[in-house]
């Protein structure tokens, strides 16, 4: 997934906010793109909007969060921190979104969390700090 223009990115965000992305479209790159735009637009309030947006989209998909599926608080906070640090770098929005997607593979959380920690019900329900290495600081 890459974006060619701000208009294409804006359309993507409008579809997210309307709950129009299908489950198949709601990929890791899509999560990163949404988070990148929200970090750029909302700064320190981005996490709260990201959380609400994911819950809203899950509702549109009929996804009910349980102890084993659906929304994951720790991973949402983790990815928001990773994306916020990336977005703090200079540059044009579309370029930063595309580079964020390209440079943050789905497996990145494994550098920070052991399997048992991130897969725990506690981590799904509430923030659990990384047990392998600390989150990056914002630039």
- HSE-up (13 A, CA, CB side) for residue 1: 20
User: For residue range 87-110, what is the model confidence (pLDDT) as tens digits?
Assistant: 998 899 999 999 999 999 999 999
Predicted pLDDT at 61: 83
Contact 2, 101 (CB under 8 A): yes
Give the C-alpha separation, 43 to 96, whole Å.
15
Contact between 100 and 32 (Cβ < 8 Å):
yes
Residues 93 and 40: their CA atoms lie apart, in Å, by 8
Look at the block and give the residue holding tokens 């928001």: 80
- pTM more than 0.85: yes
Q: What is the DSSP secondary-structure string of 49-115?
A: HHHHHHHHHHHHHTPPP-SSSS--HHHHHHHHHHHHHHHTS-S-HHHHHHHHHHH--GGGGGGT--H
Task: Quick: pLDDT tens for 61-79.
Answer: 877 777 777 888 999 999 9
Residues 1-34 have pLDDT tens digits of 999 999 999 999 999 999 999 989 999 999 999 9
Residue 37 tokens read as 């735009």
Contact residues for 36 (Cβ-Cβ < 8 A; gap 6+):
83, 86, 87, 96, 97, 100, 101
Residue 84, pLDDT > 80, answer yes
Q: At what angle do helices 93-103 and 73-87 cross, to 10 degrees?
A: 130
CA distance 85 to 135: 9
């Amino acid at each position: 997934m890459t974006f060619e223009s701000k208009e294409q990115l804006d359309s993507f965000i409008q579809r997210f906010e309307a709950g129009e992305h299908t489950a198949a479209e709601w990929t890791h790159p899509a999560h990163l793109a949404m988070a990148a735009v929200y970090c750029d637009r909302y700064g320190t309030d981005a996490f709260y909007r990201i959380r609400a947006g994911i819950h809203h989209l899950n509702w549109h998909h009929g996804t009910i969060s349980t102890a084993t599926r659906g929304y994951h608080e720790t991973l949402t906070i983790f990815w928001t921190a990773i994306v916020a640090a990336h977005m703090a770098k200079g540059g044009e929005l579309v370029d930063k979104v595309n580079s964020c997607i390209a440079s943050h593979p789905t497996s990145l959380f494994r550098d920070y969390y052991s399997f048992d920690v991130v897969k725990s019900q506690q981590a799904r329900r509430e923030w659990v700090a990384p047990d392998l290495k600390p989150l990056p600081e914002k630039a």
